[in-house]
Amino acid sequence: MIAVITADLINSSNYSESFLDEILKNLNSEFEKLQQDYAKNEIDFEIYRGDSFQGVISKYQDSLKIALRIKSLINKVKSKDQKTSSTLADVKIAIGIGAFDYKGDSIAESNGQAFQLSGRTLDEMKNDSRKIRLKTPLESLNSEFEASLFLLDAVMEKWSQASAEVVYFLLKGMKETEIAKILNISQSAVNQRKKACGWEAISVLLKRFENVTTQSF
């Protein structure tokens, strides 16, 4: 079993060329960092069509955490002439967990149940407001996380760039003091952003996801 993440940037045709370039540069850098964080060949991502990307994750239990790490990365990207703290870029993400039938020379040439579940789910999301969904071969698992991820959507919709920035570093396992040093703010400011982004609830959901997917497959 593997996890496949398929994702599209939202309304990317409205981004300036420089802003889209900045997002893609950040994504490519993040994909390299993820490969460094995991064992060799456990994770691989590719950008295609200029505003979409797909990734294969052997440790499927971590797929939601990785998806949120990528989403928070995109949400925190700033444009050069930005005057508000609102997030300017967002993404729709579909996670598919299933079998891996064929491994090609690239992700685009690979196939299997996880790819099909992820791709079809993203297609279903194009005409609704959902930002993140999960599809697996187990209906009990799908039902549980359909509700949980719907609530997560509502929480993430309220993120500012400052909140997303803190979420990103928390998902990398950093402590408040470390984040404060990187962002050049006080630890109390980090803690306030942590509360504002709903981190306590998110961390409980991530643990539940890890435990349930481990037990289910």
Angle CA 174–176–178, to nearest 5: 60
- Report pLDDT digits (tens) over 63-82: 999 999 999 999 999 887 66
pLDDT surpasses 90 at 125: yes
Q: Predicted confidence band at 88 (pLDDT cuts at 50, 70, 90)? A: confident
Contact (Cβ atoms closer than 8 angstroms) between residue 100 and residue 2: yes
Res. 204: pLDDT tops 90: yes
Q: pLDDT at position 2, please?
A: 96
The full set of domain ranges for the chain reads 2-216
Which pLDDT score, from 0 to 100, does residue 187 have?
96
Superfamily name with CATH number, domain 2-216: Nucleotide cyclase, GGDEF domain (3.30.70.1230)
Q: In this predicted model, what pLDDT tens digit does every residue of 4-45 receive, in sequence order?
A: 999 999 999 999 999 999 999 999 999 999 999 988 788 999
Mean pLDDT in residue range 107-122: 90
pLDDT confidence band for 84 (50 / 70 / 90):
low
CA 195 to CA 119: how far, in whole Å?
Answer: 33
Per-residue pLDDT at 163: 94
Q: What confidence score (pLDDT) does residue 7 get?
A: 98
Q: Could you please report the per-residue DSSP string of 71-82?
A: HHHHHT---TT-
Q: What is the pLDDT of residues 128-162, one digit of tens each?
A: 999 999 999 999 999 999 999 999 999 999 999 99
Phi, psi dihedral angles at 77 (to 5 degrees) = -70, 130
- Sorted by sequence, the CB contacts under 8 Å of residue 6 that are 6+ apart come out as 52, 53, 54, 93, 94, 96, 115, 118, 119, 121, 122
Mean pLDDT across the stretch 73-96? 85
pLDDT at residue 107 tops 70: yes
Does pLDDT of 83 surpass 70?
A: no
**CB–CB of 135/120 below 8 Å?**
yes
Whole-model pTM over 0.75: yes
